[in-house]
A and B are shown apart, each in its own frame.
Chain A
């Protein structure tokens, strides 16, 4: 698997827009150690984005795309919301689903890919907002977990319906007043990470996207565990700076403030026993590979 699969016809190379030329020249397809550190020096599989200036969701998108272990064989399933405006700019196969249907679509897709490509690893990653994951699509989300479907579900939690002007969502915190929820939320934020664990997810993380290295780690873990064992769930805080009354430069600080130990996005992780075993095996293999590479480099320089 490599960039060999994305070659532009030589006779028409000069007319291709530069985004596509860059993708072929400097994407990280096929690179085993790809990660957030590639951002800025190589094509990170996203071009311009159509989100607001300073939107934490755009940071999350970049980190996630840079961290997918197998981008050329990954299909992302999106849903209605701000994320659906970004997918057209993403150089990974993706499908837009009806609002809330994303986990049902992903279930069928994953099964079909397993039948169609039995000898090739195909990852499916759902990426949707909190409205699609927890409110409108909760049925589909839970049923996919109950059935132990082997794909990762990522929820970009901005705690309201940002794309339509700020309505209340299930993941909104209690008492929060939004532009189109003037009374204030009357009940607690839905505890989906706990529900995910009880519903059979093998890896569940609740965190913000303030630290790219952390996002890389959880994405890789989630995708590897989903590939081998069963469903995984990541709830990432990507605040909507417009709807919570912040400026473009304040998104990062908002996430840092919300991940303090007593706050609602303090890092929480659940790993099932089989998943722990798998991660240990992967870590051992990785160590071995790095030692071999180091030895090889030493021999070459000697």
Chain B
């Protein structure tokens, strides 16, 4: 097993793909935390803790859930809204949860508006602008999520979580696989359950 760990960056300008460093994807029923395979239950708790500790916990829904291209997508969108509402209820007044869409994958010139959207080709702009320190990707196509997660790891100190509908993402610090409405709801429940057990760091600003 690889000694490499997928940790918050900034790693360096061109971080290696975690897969090339020996990180492997979880099997069904498992997840990975920092590149180490873990039971899914443990990952729910770790993801919830990271959200509850972050100053700006953020959900990034992608095109697969933003557009109601089938019934399942619309249901996932509703679950994501529930997750966001739960997060808002469970954090303290000093924390600022955000819900920022990734509606498009094409690089936008001359620049995107980082207050209202994130783009996979320069996700760091949105992370920096909003001072996001923990985020979750849901409904982003795998190749775009991989690109984006690597850029975030390379240039920011943001903790990244992937709720992947396929086999998961090595380049996230924590990754679920086989995302479904139930899994999103379960993450919301875990956040609710762990509310008050962890604190956000004291602000130095």
Give A residues with C-beta under 8 Å from B. Answer: 6-12, 15-17, 20, 50, 85, 87-89
Q: A11-B78, A12-B81 are in contact. List 17 more A-B contacts (CB 8 A).
A: A6-B67, A8-B66, A9-B66, A9-B67, A9-B76, A10-B68, A10-B78, A11-B80, A16-B101, A16-B103, A17-B101, A17-B103, A50-B110, A85-B109, A87-B106, A88-B109, A89-B108
List 20 A-B residue pairs with CB atoms under 8 Å apart, sorted by A's residue number: A7-B67, A7-B68, A7-B69, A9-B73, A9-B74, A9-B77, A10-B74, A10-B77, A10-B78, A12-B61, A12-B66, A12-B101, A17-B103, A17-B113, A17-B117, A50-B110, A85-B109, A88-B107, A88-B109, A89-B108
Contact A15–B108 (Cβ < 8 Å): no
Tell me which residues across on chain A come within 8 A of B106, comparing CB atoms. Answer: 87-88
Q: Counting CB contacts under 8 A, is B100 at the interface?
A: yes
Of the candidates B65, B100, B107, B113, which one forms a contact with A9 in the assembled complex, judged by CB atoms under 8 Å apart?
B65
Tell me which residues across on chain B come within 8 A of A15, comparing CB atoms. Answer: 61, 99-101, 116
Of the candidates A8, A17, A88, which one forms a contact with B67 in the assembled complex, judged by CB atoms under 8 Å apart?
A8
Tell me which residues across on chain A come within 8 A of B101, comparing CB atoms. Answer: 12, 15-17
Contact A11–B77 (Cβ < 8 Å): yes
What residue of chain A has the Cβ atom nearest to residue B109's Cβ? A50
Tell me which residues across on chain B come within 8 A of A9, comparing CB atoms. Answer: 65-68, 73-74, 76-78
What residue of chain A has the Cβ atom nearest to residue B116's Cβ? A17
Complexed CA–CA distance, A258 and B86 (Å): 63
The 10 A-B pairs at the shortest CB distance, nearest first, are namely: A9-B77, A88-B106, A11-B81, A11-B77, A11-B78, A50-B109, A9-B68, A7-B68, A12-B77, A9-B74
Tell me which residues across on chain B come within 8 A of A16, comparing CB atoms. Answer: 66, 101, 103
Tell me which residues across on chain A come within 8 A of B116, comparing CB atoms. Answer: 15, 17
Contact A12–B65 (Cβ < 8 Å): yes
* Nearest chain B CB to A164 CB, angstrom units: 16
* Nearest chain B CB to A24 CB, angstrom units: 9
Tell me which residues across on chain A come within 8 A of B67, comparing CB atoms. Answer: 6-9
Complexed CA–CA distance, A197 and B101 (Å): 48
Complexed CA–CA distance, A20 and B113 (Å): 14
Complexed CA–CA distance, A89 and B68 (Å): 21
Complexed CA–CA distance, A8 and B101 (Å): 12
Tell me which residues across on chain B come within 8 A of A11, comparing CB atoms. Answer: 74, 77-78, 80-81
Tell me which residues across on chain B come within 8 A of A6, comparing CB atoms. Answer: 67
Tell me which residues across on chain B come within 8 A of A8, comparing CB atoms. Answer: 66-68
What residue of chain B has the Cβ atom nearest to residue A5's Cβ? B69
What residue of chain A has the Cβ atom nearest to residue B115's Cβ? A17
Tell me which residues across on chain A come within 8 A of B73, comparing CB atoms. Answer: 9
Interface residues of B in 10-31 (CB under 8 A from A): none
* Nearest chain B CB to A294 CB, angstrom units: 37
Tell me which residues across on chain B come within 8 A of A20, comparing CB atoms. Answer: 103-104
Complexed CA–CA distance, A16 and B100 (Å): 8
Complexed CA–CA distance, A85 and B110 (Å): 9
Complexed CA–CA distance, A107 and B80 (Å): 41
Interface residues of B in 49-92 (CB under 8 A from A): 61, 65-69, 73-74, 76-78, 80-81
Complexed CA–CA distance, A20 and B104 (Å): 10
Complexed CA–CA distance, A6 and B69 (Å): 7
* Nearest chain A CB to B96 CB, angstrom units: 15
* Nearest chain A CB to B109 CB, angstrom units: 4
Tell me which residues across on chain A come within 8 A of B74, comparing CB atoms. Answer: 9-11
Tell me which residues across on chain A come within 8 A of B103, comparing CB atoms. Answer: 16-17, 20
* Nearest chain B CB to A20 CB, angstrom units: 5
* Nearest chain B CB to A153 CB, angstrom units: 22
* Nearest chain B CB to A90 CB, angstrom units: 9
Tell me which residues across on chain A come within 8 A of B80, comparing CB atoms. Answer: 11-12
* Nearest chain A CB to B78 CB, angstrom units: 4
